[in-house]
Amino acid sequence: MKALGERLREERLRRNETQQVFASRIGVSIPTYYKMENGDPRVQIGQWAVALDILDHAGDLDFLLAPTEDLFAKYDQSQSPRRQRASRKENK
């Protein structure tokens, strides 16, 4: 969380915005924004999502929340026989 807060601060400074301006853009108070920059884990994820959206990094949440891939399960699934259904008979 600390590293994420540091990256947030770097992005804000790169855009040359004050904490007050950026906090108002994401809709949080200055103390809450200060907590975000310091990596406080009590900040709600929704506030982080808004900040990432403003910074054009909303897609990063998909990466964080992506399901892990179990290669053993994937292999087992590829080795199991596939069920096939009979084709429908047409009654004419």
- Please classify residue 61 by burial: count the beta carbons closer than 10 Å to its beta carbon, then call 0-12 exposed, 13-18 middle and 19+ buried: middle
Is residue 62 very low, low, confident or very high in pLDDT (cuts 50, 70, 90)? Answer: low
- Alpha-carbon distance 9 to 52, whole Å? 12
CB 39 within 8 A of CB 1: yes
Q: Can you give the pTM of this predicted structure?
A: 0.64
Task: For 22-47, write each residue's pLDDT tens digit.
Answer: 999 999 999 999 999 999 999 998 99
